[in-house]
Amino acid sequence: MAVKVLILEDNPVARSFLCRVVRESFSDANSITEAGDLESARRQIALAGGPTGLHGADPFKLILVDLELPDGNGMELLAELAQYPATKIVTTLYSDDDHLFPALQRGADGYLLKEDRFEVLVEELQKIVRGQPPLSPAIARRLLTHFRQSGADGPAPDSGFSSPSGFQTSRPVPIEKPLDHERLTPRESEVLTYLSKGFTIKEIASLMGIKWFTVNDHIKSIYKKLNVSSRAEAAVLASKQGLV
Amino acid sequence: MDESGFDASAFEHSLDRRLPTRWIGWRLRLLVLAALLGCVVVFAVMRHLATSPVIDSAWQLTPQGQPILVASRLSSLQPMVGRVLVSVQAEGKAPLVVDDLLLQRTARWLVVDGEAFIRLHQQLAEHLASGRLTLHFEDGHSVQIDTPARGYVGLGLPFWPLAALALVLYLIGAAVLLMRPGKRNLLYTTMAVSQAGNLLLIAAELTRGIGQPAGFALLDQMLRLGFDVVSAAAAVCVFALHPRRMPGAAMWMGASILIAIVWAGLASFGALQALWPVTQGLIVGLGTTALGLVSWSYRIEANPFAAVMRRLSLAAMLTLAGVTVAAVATARQPGAAQGVAAVSAVIWYLFFASLLLLVPFLSRAKDVLREFALLAGISTITTSLDLLFVALFSLGPFASLTLAMFLALGVYAGARQWILNKTVGARVMTTERTFEQLYRVAREVQAHPERQRPLCSALLRDLFDPIEVLAVAQSLPRARVAGGGSALFAPLPSPGDSPSEAKTLVLRFANRGQRLFTHEDARLCDRIAEQLRSAVAYDQAVERGRREERQRLAQDLHDDIGARLLTLMYKAQSPEMEDYVRHTLQDLKTLTRGLAAAEHRLSHAASEWKVDLAHRLSAAGLQLDWTFRADEDVTLTVVQWSGLTRILRELVSNAIYHSHAQLLEVSLALQAGTFEMRVSDDGDGRAPETWSHGLGLGGIRKRVKLLGGQVSWHENPGRGVSCAVRIPGLIAA
């Protein structure tokens, strides 16, 4: 059965490049749907069963989303597709955590940097689809700060100077009593701390005396918690504003 | 003395203690009650005086000390103007022979004639009580007159202001005690009430015409001497406790109180033979003791309050000594001299009362009060001088008064500013220097907002030159003067808004203990803090503007040029071209990230470099051996960050594309401010000195030079080459 892929990218050259990357990455016969803006992407998703993908007979399995689009930001689509059962990947030129962290918070499974070489992109895409989340020290630092602030531990001791200005907007609404699923286990924060210091998964595995895929599991669990916590945050925000 | 250290907890405590902001509740009620009581007393005195009989007439003394009639409103007395009075006689009584004592107003300042004065006036009162008097003049003339009651109009002009001043002094004393009840304030109130009593008695003495109520002369003498003794004893007690508790304070206080009580006992039983010399000696002695105590206190601790008190006490004591000497010198001289002595004594009381009035408001810098005290002081000097001329050079009253007036005015005009400065103390810095300093500090704060607090402290220190400075963790809405002007609490501008970071600077003893803090100083502190705050706010606004502009630039570059470069990269004809464009794109991203972020920590940057290198090297099939050591986590500027990022990337690119190496060793180290970067490969490159300085190597050299460092390439002992970059002073840059 063919894997259905949606590529949302406004630059036609980049779009065809990404198509090549996807074809190269998966040997299964895949059907690729291309969209140049948010509007057509939404239409395609509606055809394939709507944003929840529940009654859709044949939903997309993989969605590549560009952030900067002519009619809006790919982040909006990510938020709409929070429940969509597909691997969602951000393809972008931005590699800074100010852009990537919100995307991960909205349920993106990973990101690809469009300027990377073809072979690198293929490898990264395969990794993400296999379930190996993205790792960057800056993102790991952001994650640490995020979870320490939603927990009752106070500000992260590591963040010696003020966090970047964009951070203020994504500061979580203080929740009086942090839920358990929002807290990191000691192992998870250890992994995050190593990641923030630039260690690779293999190095972390040997430092902690565990297998590399265990490290990987920890990272996946952290991202899941991030996603859950950001949804809980949104719910709290909504109920506070009388939306629910 | 173990108390010489700074008692911070006491100051923190006193920071919390607030004056009652409004006169509410029992304070107001008690004050009103005290005011009513004062008014009742004044009214009673007025009524008593108004109902007592009087010879409504004005008199002068001849050079021989005989009373001569100058004017009278009684028509029967008009023909007698210019004649000398010999005796008065009531019906059925023996004639009462009068002399110069008839014109004296009080026995308080009569050195030898006190008893005679009291006897004369007591008898005169008895004669007056009969309602009709016969006045016998020189040359056998005599006149029979009625002696009606004085009436309120007959109280005369000086009575009203003096009584009002007495009331004011009494009320201030009561208010001070009610404001903050305590031992020290009780002592002040005692002095104030005593002097208010003195003023009221003086007002009563200076009523128009001849004749005092029966018993007044004796009561007046005893009360006034008593008030003075109490004041002097209270002064000793005050300075034993304030501004600091002196060694043996209890002994000083006990002794002075005992002396006052013993004096009162002896005087009331009439057991003192020479009442005036003994009492006056006692007063001067106690006053001198008080002066000595406050000087001693100042020597132990240079509290400007003690300094000012010492100056004021010295002025009071010197003038009192002058008045005393004058009184003694003129004691045997009949005539005008004694009159002048009496007037100078009255003026001394005014001076002393004004000093007392001044004390609670010292730090409030009430100019009017200061000027008033100054004028009273000068007048005292004038009259003392006047007396001296009369006594020593036998000048006529008018001539001596004129001369003394001129001298005093000269002193006043010449020394006014000096005296004023000495009373409260001059500022340490001139206005010009203050302004310069403030301007300089404001500029510095603008440049380094994080140094706002130390700079502000330094500025206040320079401005007031205090003996002690202490920062306490307290928040204070406004600067405040405490301890009667000996200390100033100045809130320091805080970097954040959280109250836990609030600091208050406590400055003690301005101008090396020579000057009192005034409320103007507190306001100046507030202004300075405000000025520095606005300087910081300005700086923050400028910085925000810069950052926004940088971010906009970065955004535009990234979005526009980045997207085009990306398209160009995808359409590249050859892999070399593609790589070239990719590097350009990566450089552009480094540049825009550097622009967007204000600062980078070295440890953060290093971890990102590492991940980036690991990513690229693993894609190229190379191994990475990474070491990073830093003895301090410094913050890199944008220039440093982007420079180091690109140097490292270029070095690694060279290794990937040209060296055919298997392993790349990268080590970064920051030690004592010197940053060292070492990139070493095991490839087949040799003889780096022969390499052509293409775009890559030239770029590296340029960037290293820009950061103020050196770069060098060496052959490794086994295989490959290594590059060493050394940048001293990474922190300072």
Residue-wise pLDDT for A177-218, tens only, equals 445 556 788 888 888 888 888 888 888 899 999 988 888 888
Same domain, A147 and A111: no
Q: Which domain holds residue B362?
A: 303-424
Q: Give the confidence band of B79 by pLDDT, cuts at 50, 70, 90.
A: confident
Same domain, A79 and A163: no
For an interface test with A, the pick among B543, B570, B577, B613 (most A C-beta atoms closer than 10 Å) comes out as: B570
The CA distances from residue B337 to B323, B344, B386, in Å, are 12, 11, 9
Query: Residue B3 has what pLDDT?
Result: 34
Q: Does A126 touch chain B (CB under 8 A)?
A: no
Sequence length of chain B is: 733
Query: Residue B35 has what pLDDT?
Result: 92
Provide mean pLDDT across the span B208-227: 88
Q: Residue B288: inside a domain, yes or no? A: no
Cβ neighbours around B627 below 10 Å, total = 11
Provide mean pLDDT across the span B530-557: 84
Provide mean pLDDT across the span B37-60: 89
Taking only the tens place, the pLDDT of each residue in B646-673 is 899 888 888 888 888 889 999 999 988 8
Provide mean pLDDT across the span A160-186: 49
Same domain, B699 and B590: no
Q: Does B426 touch chain A (CB under 8 A)?
A: no
**Residue in the structure block whose two tokens are 């952030």:** A67
CA–CA distance, A126 with A111 (Å, rounded to integer):
12
Same domain, A112 and A201: no
Provide mean pLDDT across the span B59-86: 83
Q: Residue B474: inside a domain, yes or no? A: no
Task: Flag whether pLDDT at A113 surpasses 90.
Answer: no
Same domain, B441 and B581: yes
Q: Give which of B313, B307, B394, B384 is closest to B344, Cα–Cα.
A: B384
- Considering CB atoms only, which of A95, A114, A135 is closest to B566? A114
CA–CA distance, B84 with B136 (Å, rounded to integer):
9
Provide mean pLDDT across the span B330-345: 71
The CA distances from residue B455 to B264, B523, B533, in Å, are 59, 18, 12
Q: Does A149 touch chain B (CB under 8 A)?
A: no
Q: Give which of B205, B203, B219 is closest to B167, Cα–Cα.
A: B203
Q: Can you spell out the DSSP letters for B646-710?
A: HHHHHHHHHIIIII--SEEEEEEEEETTEEEEEEEE-SS---GGGS---HHHHHHHHHHHHTT-E
Contact A137 B599 (CB under 8 A): no
Q: Which domain holds residue A227?
A: 137-240
Residue scoring higher pLDDT (A2 or B436): B436
Most confident option among A80-89, B38-47, B94-103, B401-410? B38-47
Task: Flag whether pLDDT at B115 surpasses 50.
Answer: yes
Q: Which residues of A touch B593 (CB under 8 A)?
A: 95-96
Among A110, A130, A150, identify where a domain stops.
A130
Task: Flag whether pLDDT at A156 surpasses 90.
Answer: no
Provide mean pLDDT across the span A69-85: 85
Contact A198 B609 (CB under 8 A): yes
Same domain, B592 and B639: no
CA–CA distance, A152 with A177 (Å, rounded to integer):
8
Q: Does A71 touch chain B (CB under 8 A)?
A: no
Same domain, B532 and B674: no
Residue scoring higher pLDDT (B16 or B145): B145
Q: Give the confidence band of B498 by pLDDT, cuts at 50, 70, 90.
A: low
Q: What is the CATH number of the domain that holds B139?
A: 2.30.42
Residue type at B288 in one-letter notation? T
Q: Give the confidence band of A86 by pLDDT, cuts at 50, 70, 90.
A: confident
- Considering CB atoms only, which of A13, A98, A196 is closest to B567? A13
- How many folded domains does chain B comprise? 4
Among A97, A130, A163, identify where a domain stops.
A130
Q: Does B530 touch chain A (CB under 8 A)?
A: no
Same domain, A124 and A143: no
Q: Which residues of B touch A120 (CB under 8 A)?
A: 615, 619
Residue scoring higher pLDDT (B64 or A66): A66
Residue scoring higher pLDDT (B355 or B321): B321
Task: Flag whether pLDDT at A175 surpasses 60.
Answer: no
Contact B589 A161 (CB under 8 A): no
Q: What chain A residue is nearest to B565 in terms of C-alpha separation?
A: A115
- How many folded domains does chain A comprise? 2
Proportion of chain B above pLDDT 70, given as a percent: 87
**Residue in the structure block whose two tokens are 């690729």:** A32
Phi, psi dihedrals of residue A17, rounded to the nearest 5°: -60, -45
Structural contact between residues B286 and B309, judged by C-beta atoms closer than 8 angstroms = no
Among B405, B424, B443, identify where a domain stops.
B424
Query: Residue A170 has what pLDDT?
Result: 39
CA–CA distance, A57 with A52 (Å, rounded to integer):
12
Which B residues, 335 through 364, put their C-beta within 8 Å of a C-beta on chain A?
A: none
Query: Residue B392 has what pLDDT?
Result: 64
Q: What is the CATH number of the domain that holds B702?
A: 3.30.565.10
CA–CA distance, B677 with B628 (Å, rounded to integer):
9
Q: Does B633 touch chain A (CB under 8 A)?
A: yes
Provide mean pLDDT across the span B286-302: 90
User: How far is A155 from chain B, CA to nearest CA, in Å?
Assistant: 15
Q: Does B584 touch chain A (CB under 8 A)?
A: no
For an interface test with B, the pick among A66, A93, A192 (most B C-beta atoms closer than 10 Å) comes out as: A93
Q: Residue B730: inside a domain, yes or no? A: yes
Q: Which residues of B touch A197 (CB under 8 A)?
A: 603, 607
Same domain, B670 and B538: no
Q: Residue B477: inside a domain, yes or no? A: no
Q: Residue B77: inside a domain, yes or no? A: yes
Among B131, B149, B167, identify where a domain stops.
B149
Q: Does B614 touch chain A (CB under 8 A)?
A: yes
Q: What is the CATH number of the domain that holds A66?
A: 3.40.50.2300
CA–CA distance, B671 with B641 (Å, rounded to integer):
17
